Amino acid sequence: MKNMHDMWQGALFNALCEHASFEEIGQWIEAPKDRAHGDLAFPCFPLAKRQRRAPSAIAEDLAATLTHDEFARVEAVGGYVNVFFKKDSLSRQVLQSIVVQKSAYGSFVTGKSARVPIDFSSPNIAKPFSMGHLRSTVIGNALALLAEKNGFLPERINYIGDWGTQFGKLIVAYQRWGSEAEVRQAPIQTLYKLYVRFHEEAEKEPELDDEGRAWFVRLEQGDEEAVALWTWFRQESIVAFQHLYDRLGITFDRIQGEAYYNDRMKAVMTHLQEAGLLEESDGALVVRLDDEGLPPCLFQKKDGSSLYATRDLAAVYHRNEELSPARLLYVVGQEQSLHFKQIQAVLTRLGVEKQKQPEHVAFGLLLSDGKKMSTRRGRVIFWRMF
Ligand code: ARG
């Protein structure tokens, strides 16, 4: 459609060039909202002063003399020249150029091969792939394709959620109620069931939460048993997600999730500490963002473990260092906009320029029966694969 529009403009430029400069015509031409007023309209008001004549008189004259092979009809209405194009012949031209240019049609070099990492899909392992992740996958891939067409070099990053306290909980649940055979047979469903069960049981037996947290600390410290279970859950999940990506025809340049940043957590904390941003709060470490009107951003729990924000901060630095990107896109549901605002605010405090900060490409929430879906509560709709 854009090319069609350019062709129309080109035709109008040729016809108007005696009356105004190229730049002027470009600035003045309008695309009427109501197509009954033409495909494009040229307002004569700016010419009125120059020609010392009423806009409507200029419009009348112009309309009488404007001719072009591609114009179907030209009308003067209240100081405007409204132009209607011959859509048939223009459509034919557009189609012809598509045939000639094939897949190069619609390509631009605007991006000048600048890199644009796009963080999208990014599901959480050991859980069903959610509707939100599906949206992120499809929107993110569409953005990557558009970026490519416009001469950018997108880097498709799947930042899987493979780290966090929930894996400590999952290990506890597996040890209590899980079976290896069941996980092997239907990994995601089984792990997800264990996760839901953990939360049900933890309501009756709150010590389970402490146990889960402790296992995550062990995982972060490289405990062999914890790492072995986690590696297995992760691998099974990646294989399951791959079926879906294959079906959608989507590939990633890298699957680099939260766990990838595990060995950078200390460096992030030191960096924040040296910048004088960290404050203690109930044993935890936070960056207060009162001046920005935002709640504090939590970077370390009181048991010493890292958080989503800690890992995202590490990922921002890593992506900037490795890719020197023109923009840093994150296709993530709108419910995470506070998280991204906090990350941006912290980066600004750290002196990181805007261009090197995450740009949150947000999308809305799909509800089920008017309610938020929740994997933790088991309120989800499953996508049938076959
Ligand atoms: N795994 C996260 C979730 O499902 C999304 C991650 C988005 N990307 C990021 N860099 N935070 O909620």
Q: Ligand 1, closest atom to CA 340?
A: 11
Higher pLDDT, 215 or 130: 215
Position 1 scores a pLDDT of 45
More confident residue, 109 or 1: 109
CA pair distance 141, 318, nearest whole angstrom: 22
pLDDT band at 374 (very low <50, low <70, confident <90, very high): confident
CA atoms within 13 A on the CB side of 249: 2
Q: Check: pTM over 0.95? Answer yes or no.
A: no
Distinct helix (H) and strand (E) counts, the chain = 14, 11
The sheet carrying 153-158 orders its strands as 254-255, 153-158, 115-119, 329-333, 359-363
Distance 315 CA to ligand 1 centre (A): 12
Ligand 1 and 340: CB distance under 6 A: no
Task: Using most ligand atoms within 8 A of CB, pick from 118, 122, 127 the residue to mutate for ligand 1.
Answer: 122
φ/ψ of residue 307, rounded to 5: -130, 175
Q: How far apart are alpha carbons 132 and 370 in whole angstroms?
A: 15
348: left (phi over 0), alpha (psi -120 to 50) or beta: alpha
For the Cβ of 330 lying below 6 angstroms from any atom of ligand 1, the answer is yes
CA distance 209 to 248: 37
Least confident of 50-59, 63-72, 181-190, 247-256: 63-72
Span from the CA of 314 to the centroid of ligand 1 (angstroms): 14
- For residue 332 and ligand 1, the question of a CB distance below 6 A is answered with yes
pLDDT digits (tens, 9 = 90+) for 320-351: 999 999 999 999 999 999 999 999 999 999 99
- Single out the residue of 177, 232, 226 nearest to residue 199, CA to CA: 177
Q: Whose CA is nearest to atom 5 of ligand 1?
A: 122
Amino acid identity, position 49: K
- Assess whether the C-beta atom of 258 lies below 6 angstroms from ligand 1: no
In the three-class reduction of DSSP (H, G, I as helix; E, B as strand; rest coil), residue 84 is classed as: strand
Q: Which residue has the higher pLDDT, 127 or 205?
A: 205
How do residues 101-154 score in pLDDT, each as one tens digit?
Answer: 888 888 888 899 999 999 999 999 998 888 889 999 999 999 999 999 999 999
What atom of ligand 1 comes closest to residue 130's alpha carbon?
Answer: 4
- pLDDT tens readout for residues 222-238: 999 999 999 999 999 99
CB 340 within 8 A of CB 316: no
Ligand 1 center from residue 353 Cα (angstroms): 22
Confidence band (pLDDT; 50, 70, 90) for 386? very low
Q: What is the pLDDT of residues 283-295, one digit of tens each?
A: 999 999 999 999 9
Whether 355 has a pLDDT exceeding 80, the answer reads yes
Check if 119 has its Cβ closer than 6 Å to any atom of ligand 1: yes
- With a 6 Å cutoff on the Cβ, whether 124 touches ligand 1 is yes
Mean pLDDT of 9-33: 83
Residue 159, ligand 1, Cβ within 6 A: yes
Q: Measured in angstroms, how far is the CA atom of residue 163 from the centroid of ligand 1?
A: 11
Q: Which of 332, 347, 376 to mutate to test the pocket of ligand 1 (most atoms within 8 A of CB)?
A: 332
Mean pLDDT (the chain) is 92
Ligand 1 atom closest to the CA of 358, numbered from 1: 10
Confidence of residue 370 (pLDDT cuts 50, 70, 90): confident
Q: Distance between CA 264 and CA 64 in Å, rounded?
A: 72
> What does the chain come to in residues?
386
What percent of the chain lies above the pLDDT cut of 70? 95
